[in-house]
Amino acid sequence: QVQLVESGGGLVQPGGSLRLSCAASGSIFRTYVMGWYRQAPGKQRELVARITSGGNTYTDSVKGRFTISGDSAKNTVYLQMNNLKPEDTAVYYCNAANMFSRTNYWGQGTQVTVSS
């Protein structure tokens, strides 16, 4: 089992930046596929970014602005968000998917609000 603890959300003005962190309870990089999802009010949860061996992937709306990365020593995944837009406002969730069992683990979510 994996427990994910997120931090870094908050209120930011359009054009600003935030760095989200997701700390895992145990080693995850060799066994789990890590990603970030978000869910805005009244909308479906969508994949934002995912770490892949062939190159990290991003949803079209965040390409060029968001960067996903990981620190194996800290067992932590990050999402650097630059040039934030009001449309980015959502609850952001860290996700760990076991590559063998396909079991998904989710963080508690962290609120990101982009507003003037």
pLDDT at 107 over 90: yes
Quick one: pLDDT at residue 97?
93
d(CA 113, CA 97): 26
Give 30 or 109, the one with higher predicted confidence: 109
| pLDDT value, residue 28 | 80
Assign 59 a pLDDT band (cuts: 50, 70, 90): very high
- pLDDT, position 33: 92
Residues of the chain with pLDDT > 70: what percent? 100
Tell me the pLDDT tens digit for each residue of 31-54. 899 999 999 999 999 999 999 878
- Do 64 and 51 meet the contact criterion of CB atoms below 8 Å apart? no
- Beta strands (DSSP E) in 1-116 are 4-7, 10-12, 18-24, 32-39, 46-50, 57-58, 66-71, 76-81, 90-98, 104-106, 110-114
Amino acid identity of residue 21, one-letter, is S
Residues in the chain: 116
End-to-end CA distance of the chain: 40
Exposed, middle or buried by CB within 10 Å (0-12, 13-18, 19+), for 43? exposed
Q: Mean of the per-residue pLDDT values for the chain?
A: 95
Tell me the mean pLDDT in the region 103-113: 96
Instruction: State yes or no: pLDDT of 29 exceeds 90.
Output: no
